[in-house]
C-alpha cells in the first residue's frame, strides 16, 4: 500500500481531540481527553477483567516484537508486589554491528515520515494514543507490576494522565510546526524594473533518532511526552526502558509499530531496546551519531553525564531534586496536616514531586487551633498519616509497594539520624504477601544539619527541620532548590507578605510553588494542559513537560526558494 493511499487524511478522525488540546494549552484551563476513573460505568463492565487477562497473557512468554539487530532474549522484570513477570523481549546487544543494523533500519523510514507533513504525522500519533487508550487497563496492570504503584494510581498516572501528557506534547509540537506558513509568494519592489518575485517553501525537518531512556517509577508518564514529541516532529524513536519496567513501553512500541505499518510507514520508525541490567546500554546509545534527541528521567549523575557527553544530541533531562515545605501559619491546621499526610504517603513518596523537607520556625506557628510548637506540628502531621494509613487494606491502595532496594536502604539510614517523629512500619499486603510495603518516616532535624536534608532522599523519608525564622526557612528553601534542584514547593501562611516572599524565592530558584493546599489538590500532583512539570530553571531539570521549548528543538525548518515564473506572477 502506498503512503499516499494509506495516509490521505489520518487527522480527520482525531481533529476534534487535537483542536481541544490546542485550545487547552493556550487557555491553561482544565481539560482531559481520557477519563481517569476506572469505573465500569465509564469503560464497561468487562474492561478491568479483560485488561488484567491481557496483561497476564504476556507473563512467562516471548513478547511479539521485532528489533533490528537484536540477538536472543532478555527477561529482567520482577514485580514490586512479589512475582517474577518473566516476559522475554528481544535483547539488543551493545556491540557496533548490532547497533549499526538497528539505526540503519530506523533511519530508512525517516524520509517518507518527514515528507508526510505535520497533519499526517499528528493523525498517526493520535491514532496511537487512541489505541493505547483502548488498552488502558492492560497498561494499568503493567505499570502496577513494574513500578509498584497501586492499581488505581497506575491506571490514572500510568494510563489516563500519561495519555493526556502525550496529547499535550503532540499539541505543542503541532503548534510549533505549523506556526509559519508552509509556503509563501514573495515580491519585493525593484524601482522602475520588474519586482523581484520568489516562491518559497518551508519544510519541517527532523533532527534524527530520538532516544527515550525510561525510568522505573513512572515508565509511561515520564516517557510518552518525549516519545510522541519526537515522533510527531518527524524523528524515529528508540525506546530504552528501565530493565525493571519494560512491559508498559513494550506495549507502547507494539501499538506504535502497528499503527505506522497500517498507515503505510516503516514500523522500524519506533523500536524497543531491551537490555540486561548489567549491559549499561543507555550510555552506549546516547553517544551514537544517529541519536540527535535524548529524553531522560533518573539520577542526577547520569543526567549530568548525558548533558556533558552526548554532545551530538539535544538532551531533555529530569533529575533529582529536594522539594520543600515552608510552614509559617495556617487558618486550617487539620486540613494542612491531612494534605501533607497524603502527599507524604502517596506511592510511598516515590515521586520526584513528593515533599521532603518541612521547614518550621523553632518558635512554632500560629494556627486556627492556637499556637503550635515544632513538636506539635510534627505530632499533627504524624497523626494525620496514622489516620490515613490506619487500615492496612486502605493503606496499601495509597502506598503501593517499594520499587527497589535503594529506597529501603535510604529509609533505614534516615531512621538512624535525628529524632524519629513518626516511625516507618511494615504492612502486609492482603493480596500480595511478598510486596514490600512501608509507611512514611518523619525525622526531626535542626536547620544547621544541612548535610542530612540538603540532598534528595528518594522514597518515604521526610525531615521536620527547625529554623530560626520563616525568613530562614525561605532562604534554606531558595538555596537548596537553587543548588540541588527542586520540582515542587509549598508554603502555608496567612500573611500576604510571607506569601509574596515565598513566590519571590520560588521564582528566583525556578520552582513551581503551591500555596495553602488543604483540600483535594496536592503538591506532588500536576495536571496536564495547565500545570508545567519542571521548569528547566534549576538543577532538577533542564526541560519542562510541556512547553514550546520542549518540542521546538526536535526539528528544524529548511527553506527552498526559486524565482516565480513570469506567467504565475501576472496571473
The verdict on 342 and 306 lying in the same domain is no
CATH at residue 361: 3.40.309.10
Give the domain range for residue 264. Answer: 49-181+204-319
End-to-end CA distance of the chain: 38
Q: Which three cell numbers stand for residue 214?
A: 525510561
Would you list the DSSP string of 79-133?
-TTS-B---BEEB---SHHHHHHHHHHHHHTHHHHHHHHHHHHHHHHHHHHHHHH
Give pLDDT, residue 464: 98
Give pLDDT, residue 328: 98
Please tell me the total count of domains within the chain.
Answer: 2
CA distance 359 to 355: 11
Strand segments, DSSP code E, in 373-422 are 419-422
- Tens of pLDDT along the chain (571 residues) come to 344 434 468 899 999 999 999 999 999 999 999 999 999 999 999 999 999 999 999 999 999 999 999 999 999 999 999 999 999 999 999 999 999 999 999 999 999 999 999 999 999 999 999 999 999 999 999 999 999 999 999 999 999 999 999 999 999 999 999 999 999 999 999 988 899 999 999 999 999 999 999 999 999 999 999 999 999 999 999 999 999 999 999 999 999 999 999 999 999 999 999 999 999 999 999 999 999 999 999 999 999 999 999 999 999 999 989 999 999 999 999 999 999 999 999 999 999 999 999 999 999 999 999 999 999 999 999 999 999 999 999 999 999 999 999 999 999 999 988 899 999 999 999 999 999 999 999 999 999 999 999 999 999 999 999 999 999 999 999 999 999 999 999 999 999 999 999 999 999 999 999 999 999 999 999 999 999 999 999 999 999 999 999 999 999 999 999 999 876 554 4
The verdict on 238 and 349 lying in the same domain is no
| Cross-strand pairs, 438 | 426
The verdict on 254 and 354 lying in the same domain is no
Buried b (16+ CB within 10 A) or exposed e, 360-373: bbeebbbbeeeebe
The verdict on 260 and 302 lying in the same domain is yes
The verdict on 294 and 329 lying in the same domain is no
Residue 123 domain flag: yes
Among 295, 319, 343, which residue terminates a domain? 319
The verdict on 278 and 175 lying in the same domain is yes
The verdict on 222 and 337 lying in the same domain is no
Determine the 3-state secondary structure of 371 from DSSP: strand
CA distance 283 to 303: 11
Print the SS3 string covering 190-252: CCCCCCEEEEEEEEEEECCEEEEECCCCCCCCCCHHHHHHHHHCCCEEEEECCCCCCHHHHHH
Residue 5 domain flag: no
CA distance 281 to 260: 26
Give pLDDT, residue 488: 97
The verdict on 398 and 424 lying in the same domain is yes
C-beta of residue 312 within 8 angstroms of C-beta of residue 291 = yes
Nearest to 221 by CA among 152, 143, 301: 143
Taking the CA atoms of residue 473, residue 505, residue 314 and residue 33 in that order, the dihedral angle to the nearest 10 degrees is: 100
The verdict on 314 and 336 lying in the same domain is no
Residue 425 domain flag: yes
Report how far apart, in Å, the C-alpha atoms of 86 and of each of 190, 247, 282 are: 73, 10, 22
Give pLDDT, residue 4: 46
CA distance 272 to 432: 30
Count of residues making up the chain: 571
CATH at residue 92: 3.40.605.10
424 conformational bin, left if phi > 0, alpha if psi -120 to 50, beta if neither: beta
Give pLDDT, residue 568: 58
Residue 361 domain flag: yes
Give pLDDT, residue 10: 86
Q: Which residues contact 179 (CB under 8 A, 6 or more apart)?
A: none
Q: Which three cell numbers stand for residue 382?
A: 504524624
C-beta of residue 49 within 8 angstroms of C-beta of residue 68 = no
Among 464, 494, 515, which residue terminates a domain? 515
Other Cβ atoms closer than 10 A to 175:
18
pTM (predicted TM-score): 0.95
Amino acid at each position: 500500500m502506498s503512503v499516499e493511499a494509506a495516509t490521505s487524511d489520518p487527522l480527520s478522525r482525531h481533529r476534534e481531540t487535537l483542536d481541544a488540546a490546542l485550545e487547552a494549552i493556550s487557555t491553561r484551563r482544565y481539560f482531559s481527553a481520557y477519563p481517569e476513573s476506572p469505573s465500569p460505568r465509564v469503560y464497561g463492565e468487562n474492561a478491568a477483567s479483560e485488561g488484567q487477562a491481557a496483561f497476564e497473557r504476556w507473563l512467562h512468554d516471548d513478547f511479539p516484537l521485532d528489533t533490528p539487530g537484536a540477538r536472543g532474549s532478555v527477561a529482567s522484570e520482577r514485580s514490586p508486589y512479589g512475582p517474577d513477570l518473566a516476559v522475554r523481549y528481544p535483547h539488543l546487544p551493545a556491540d557496533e554491528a548490532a547497533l549499526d543494523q538497528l539505526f540503519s533500519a530506523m533511519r530508512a523510514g525517516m524520509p517518507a515520515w518527514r515528507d508526510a507533513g505535520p497533519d499526517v504525522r499528528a493523525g498517526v500519533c493520535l491514532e496511537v494514543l487512541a489505541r493505547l487508550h483502548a488498552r488502558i487497563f492492560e497498561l494499568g496492570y503493567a505499570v502496577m507490576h513494574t513500578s509498584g504503584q497501586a492499581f488505581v494510581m497506575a491506571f490514572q498516572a500510568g494510563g489516563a494522565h500519561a495519555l493526556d501528557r502525550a496529547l499535550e506534547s503532540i499539541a505543542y509540537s503541532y503548534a510549533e510546526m505549523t506556526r509559519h506558513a508552509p509556503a509563501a509568494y514573495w515580491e519585493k519592489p525593484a524601482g522602475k524594473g520588474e519586482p523581484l518575485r520568489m516562491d518559497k517553501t518551508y519544510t519541517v525537518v527532523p533532527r534524527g533518532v530520538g532516544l527515550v531512556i525510561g525510568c522505573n517509577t513512572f515508565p509511561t508518564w515520564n516517557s510518552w511526552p518525549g516519545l510522541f514529541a519526537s515522533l510527531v516532529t518527524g524523528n524515529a524513536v528508540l525506546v530504552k526502558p528501565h530493565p525493571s519496567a519494560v512491559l508498559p513501553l513494550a506495549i507502547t512500541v507494539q501499538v506504535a509499530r502497528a499503527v505506522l505499518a497500517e498507515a503505510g510507514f516503516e514500523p522500524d520508525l519506533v523500536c524497543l531496546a531491551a537490555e540486561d541490567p548489567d549491559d549499561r546500554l543507555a550510555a552506549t546509545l546516547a553517544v551514537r551519531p544517529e541519536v540527535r534527541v535524548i529524553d531522560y528521567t533518573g539520577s542526577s549523575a547520569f543526567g549530568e553525564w548525558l548533558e556533558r557527553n552526548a554532545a551530538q544530541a539535544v538532551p531533555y533531562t529530569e533529575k533529582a531534586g529536594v522539594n520543600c515545605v515552608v510552614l509559617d501559619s495556617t487558618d486550617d491546621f487539620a486540613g494542612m496536616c491531612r494534605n501533607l499526610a497524603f502527599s507524604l504517603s502517596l506511592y510511598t513518596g516515590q515521586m520526584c514531586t513528593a515533599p521532603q523537607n518541612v521547614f518550621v520556625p523553632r518558635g512554632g506557628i500560629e494556627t486556627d487551633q492556637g499556637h503550635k510548637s515544632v513538636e506539635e506540628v510534627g505530632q499533627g502531621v504524624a497523626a494525620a498519616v496514622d489516620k490515613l494509613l490506619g487500615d492496612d487494606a486502605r493503606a496499601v491502595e495509597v502506598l503501593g509497594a517499594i520499587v527497589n532496594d535503594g529506597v529501603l536502604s535510604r529509609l533505614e539510614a534516615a531512621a538512624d539520624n535525628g529524632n524519629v517523629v513518626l516511625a516507618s512500619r511494615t504492612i502486609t499486603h492482603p493480596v500480595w504477601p511478598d510486596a514490600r510495603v512501608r509507611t512514611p518516616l518523619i525525622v526531626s532535624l535542626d536547620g544547621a544539619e544541612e548535610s542530612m536534608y540538603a540532598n534528595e532522599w528518594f522514597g518515604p523519608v521526610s525531615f521536620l527541620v527547625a529554623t530560626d525564622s520563616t525568613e530562614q526557612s525561605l532562604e534554606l528553601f531558595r538555596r537548596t532548590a537553587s543548588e540541588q534542584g527542586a520540582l515542587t514547593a509549598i508554603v502555608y501562611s496567612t500573611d500576604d507578605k510571607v506569601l509574596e516572599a515565598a513566590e519571590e524565592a520560588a521564582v528566583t530558584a525556578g520552582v513551581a510553588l503551591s500555596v495553602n493546599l488543604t483540600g483535594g489538590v496536592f503538591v506532588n500532583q500536576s495536571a496536564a494542559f495547565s500545570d508545567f512539570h519542571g521548569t528547566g530553571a534549576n538543577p532538577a531539570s533542564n526541560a519542562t513537560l510541556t512547553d514550546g521549548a520542549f518540542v521546538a528543538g526536535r526539528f528544524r525548518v529548511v527553506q527552498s526558494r526559486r524565482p516565480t515564473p513570469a506567467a504565475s506572477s501576472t496571473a
